[in-house]
């Protein structure tokens, strides 16, 4: 299922343009030297990838627990359902409940620290901006984390979130170079495609959990559980 992370990162980056695009456009990069600018943007992305990988590690540990408990099949179905819910339920509904309220003080601290980093132009500042940016609340990141928790272990969880981050790099980099590289009508059409792709990925997770014995999509139940003896197929 790792390939879905890359695809999901690519399509959700259109959502990121609206949410995190202003941060990318405000990066204190060198606009006179293109080589240095590219290196600075890469440093910023490295910070984001580090944040995503850290989250993937934490949720991967949870996923490993479910896997060892023989609950990965159920968890995969639950994850798929949650992804679909995130895709079809309007964002306004989630905003009403403010799920981030319990950690509001921490988020405020992150935002405050993030703002102070824009005054600096050192490599560590750019890395820190990317790192803090990666920890900011985001519906698309939440959906990706659901994917990482459905992985078999912490390494797979890290890989899932890392690939998700890789998928967001092309468009997030393009924003730094040209903020108006996509017209509003084109952006609107792509925004409409995001829920569709999310539903497709959620469906893949559900199929995976159902154990229908479909290669690369839905492995059989024998492959989904930890057992003392190996399962052999003729």
Residues 6+ away with beta carbon under 8 Å from 208 = 1, 76, 80, 150, 217, 218, 219
CA atoms of 193 and 195, how far apart (whole Å): 6
Please give the pLDDT value at position 51: 93
H/E stretch holding 172: helix 154-177
Tell me the β-bridge partners of 114. none
**29 CA to centre of own chain:** 25
Spatial CA neighbour of 10 closest among 150, 166, 139, 144 = 166
d(CA 1, CA 216): 8
Which residue, 12, 23, 10, is CA-closest to 179? 23
pLDDT per position as a tens digit, 35-59: 888 898 899 999 999 999 999 999 8
Q: What is the pLDDT of residue 42?
A: 93
**What is residue 225's predicted lDDT score, i.e. its pLDDT?**
46
N- to C-terminal Cα separation, the chain = 25
Compute the chain's Rg from CA coordinates. 19
- As a whole number of angstroms, the distance between CA 50 and CA 132 comes to 10
Residues 6+ positions from 195 with CB-CB distance below 8 Å: 87, 88
What is the DSSP code (8-state) at residue 218? B
Q: Do the Cβ atoms of 161 and 52 come closer than 8 Å?
A: yes
Residue 187 has a pLDDT of: 60
pLDDT in tens, the chain (234 residues): 788 888 888 887 777 666 666 677 778 888 788 888 889 889 999 999 999 999 999 988 888 877 766 777 787 888 888 888 877 876 666 555 555 555 555 656 666 666 667 667 677 888 988 888 888 877 788 888 888 888 878 899 999 999 999 998 988 888 777 655 555 565 666 667 778 878 888 888 888 778 776 666 666 654 544 444 555 554
**Which pTM was predicted?**
0.71
- 196 Cβ contact list (under 8 Å, min separation 6): 87
Bridge partners of 214, per DSSP, are 218
- Residue (of 132, 124, 153, 142) closest to 63 by Cα position: 153
Rounded to the nearest 5 percent, the helix, strand and coil shares of the chain are 75, 0, 25
């Amino acid at each position: 299922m790792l390939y879905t992370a890359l695809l999901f990162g690519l399509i959700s980056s259109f959502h990121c343009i609206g949410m995190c695009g202003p941060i990318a456009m405000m990066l204190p990069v060198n606009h006179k030297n293109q080589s240095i600018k590219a290196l600075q943007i890469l440093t910023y992305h490295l910070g984001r990838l580090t944040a995503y990988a850290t989250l993937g590690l934490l949720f991967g540990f949870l996923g490993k627990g479910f896997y060892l408990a023989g609950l990965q099949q159920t968890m995969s179905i639950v994850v798929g359902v949650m992804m679909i819910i995130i895709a079809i339920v309007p964002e306004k509904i989630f905003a009403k409940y403010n799920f981030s309220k319990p950690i509001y003080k921490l988020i405020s601290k992150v935002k405050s620290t993030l703002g102070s980093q824009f005054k600096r132009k050192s490599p560590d500042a750019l890395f820190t901006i990317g790192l803090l940016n990666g920890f900011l609340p985001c519906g698309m990141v939440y959906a990706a984390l659901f994917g990482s928790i459905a992985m078999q272990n912490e390494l797979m969880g890290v890989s899932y979130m890392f690939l998700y981050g890789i998928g967001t790099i092309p468009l997030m980099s393009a924003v730094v170079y040209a903020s108006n590289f996509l017209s509003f009508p084109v952006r609107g059409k792509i925004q409409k495609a995001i829920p569709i792709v999310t539903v497709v990925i959620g469906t893949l997770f559900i199929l995976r959990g159902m154990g229908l014995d479909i290669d690369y999509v839905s492995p059989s139940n024998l492959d989904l559980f930890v057992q003392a003896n190996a399962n052999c197929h003729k």
